């Protein structure tokens, strides 16, 4: 599983990479929104973990673009902001999960593993997707 981690916070980026070492095979870390978008345009990633503080555009600005470029790639957002407004914006932007820092490593690992299993299952079983427009 290929994971990309984006955060302007060097220590946090390294810490998240360390936590996910056992889950992902190829982990890449970037600090800037531009690097993140370029990376997902150049290569396939199974999942992204991003913080809201990124170099260049903020995570909140980057998230909807990320989801438009790679709609199927699950995105997990980490932030120190626990406000309902930011939380709402993050989910509206297309994030799968939102974790308030400080991070609880087992919770992140289980969220990442579940997200990837779900994506793999959907890929292997396309008929499992809900198709409300086919329901009569």
Q: Could you list the residues that contact another protein (CB under 8 A)?
A: 32-34, 37-38, 41-42, 56-58, 61-62, 64-65, 68-69
Task: Give 36 or 76: the residue with its C-beta nearer to another protein.
Answer: 36
Q: Count CB atoms within 10 A of the CB of residue 75.
A: 25
> What is the helix (H) or strand (E) element at residue 41, kind and residue range?
helix 33-42
Q: What is the DSSP string of 12-36?
A: HHHHHHHHHTTT-SEEEEESBHHHH
CB of 30 to another protein, least distance (A): 12
Task: Give 29 or 33: the residue with its C-beta nearer to another protein.
Answer: 33
CB of 119 to another protein, least distance (A): 22
Closest CA to 53 of 17, 99, 6: 6
Task: Give 57 or 103: the residue with its C-beta nearer to another protein.
Answer: 57
- 102: cis peptide before it, omega within 30°? yes
Task: Give 71 or 106: the residue with its C-beta nearer to another protein.
Answer: 71
CB of 58 to another protein, least distance (A): 7
CB of 68 to another protein, least distance (A): 5
Encoded tokens for 74? 């699950």
């Amino acid at each position: 599983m290929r994971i990309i981690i984006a955060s302007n916070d060097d220590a946090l980026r390294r810490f998240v990479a360390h936590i996910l070492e056992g889950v992902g095979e190829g982990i890449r870390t970037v600090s800037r929104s531009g690097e993140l978008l370029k990376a997902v345009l150049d290569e396939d990633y199974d999942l992204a973990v991003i913080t809201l503080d990124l170099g260049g555009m903020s995570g909140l600005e980057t998230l909807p673009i990320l989801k438009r470029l790679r709609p199927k790639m699950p995105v997990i957002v980490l932030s120190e902001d626990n406000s309902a407004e930011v939380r709402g914006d993050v989910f509206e932007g297309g994030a799968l999960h939102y974790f308030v820092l400080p991070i609880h490593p087992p919770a992140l690992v289980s969220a990442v593993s579940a997200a990837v299993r779900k994506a793999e299952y959907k890929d292997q079983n396309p008929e499992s997707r809900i198709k409300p427009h086919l329901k009569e």
